[in-house]
Amino acid sequence: MSYKTFISGCAGTSLSEDEIDFFKTEKPWGLIVFARNIDTPEQILHLTSQFRMAVEREDAPVFIDQEGGRVRRLRPPHWPEYPAMGKLARLWGVDPEKAKRAVYLQSYLMGIDLISLGITVNCLPVLDVRTEGASDIVGDRSYGTSPDVVIALGRAAIDGTLAAGVVPVMKHMPGHGRALVDSHLELPRVKAALAELETKDFVPFKALADCPMAMTAHIVFEAIDPDNPVTQSPCAISEVLRGKLGFQGCLLSDDISMKALGGDVEQRVKLIIEAGCDMVLHCNGDMQEMVAVARAVPWTKDGCFLRANEAMQSALAPQPAANASGLRDEFEELVRQAGELT
């Protein structure tokens, strides 16, 4: 079945007739949902089913950002509270095994929540190594300031997500931890030397390059390409992400609605595809922009098709918990312990 190389948002809690017609015609690879699209479990399941019926693919991926803390779309009363991963990472200083277990359990339990709603891809782990003085856009979403800690906890997050039958997306490749401004609002520029980046920021992405999907950073790294953000840089994608870091999985752009990128929607898309991203991510649900994205992206083929399919096959065998309530009790105890640390 053919599809176009983009992931689309939608406007509300159910698809409008215009959205259904658009998805039937343009056939995006996937859908991404946000808080505006979420009300009850029954409603989300209906929404994800609507999308799959429209694109005529029962296995069409549905994405979400469910990290915990500030970045979580599913919230009480229908879903449990989950803390920022950076808060769980506090356990590392006391007991690294407890920290890894806490991150694994949170990723697994969130995945179990998602798979029951028809959501099959979660955009985590955040592998950005936190740097003092940087923008708080990463902040406690990061697992720490040490690449080794980020690697260990990032691996736990990947394993927990896959065990729940959900595909993880590591982000923001090759590292957002040095950004001094929020890329949702403006384009960050990083002046660090390549040698410094290779010994810190890039390290978790290289170590976890077997993650099935990755998301690019809308950041200019002057040591790589002083003229283009990674998302739109052929040099950064081919030589660094695919080359130095060895990532061979399905590569998504970060949201092209973000103000870090210049030009109109079609210009943004054209540069992203030419740079080497497999999929363009467009999140805001604005129909006029969705039409422009669909007009600019190609139908998937060759390597992109294979990478997308292989990524989705990485989590086709969920491992349901024999004792889900016991796992949640264990997790809550670890959250309590982490909360006592500063």
Of 254, 255, 278, 282, catalytic? 254
Q: Are 154 and 117 in contact (CB under 8 A)?
A: no
Q: How many residues does the chain have?
A: 342
* Distance from the first to the final alpha carbon of the chain: 51
Burial annotation 108-136 (CB, 10 A radius, 16+ → b, else e): bbbbbbbbebbbbbbbbbbbbbbbeebbe
254 catalytic residue (yes or no): yes
Q: Can 176 be counted among the known catalytic residues?
A: no
Strands 66-68 and 71-72: antiparallel
In angstroms, the Cα distances linking 282 to 126, 213, 222, 255, 256 are: 19, 16, 26, 5, 6
What sign has the CA pseudo-torsion 5, 167, 43, 12?
negative
Of 78, 182, 184, 286, which one is the catalytic site residue? Answer: 184
Q: Which amino acid is at 6?
A: F
Question: What would the two tokens of residue 303 be?
Answer: 């390597």
Up-side HSE of residue 299: CA atoms within 13 Å toward CB?
6
Report the distance separating Cα 245 and Cα 65, nearest Å: 24
Residue numbers annotated as active site: 184, 254
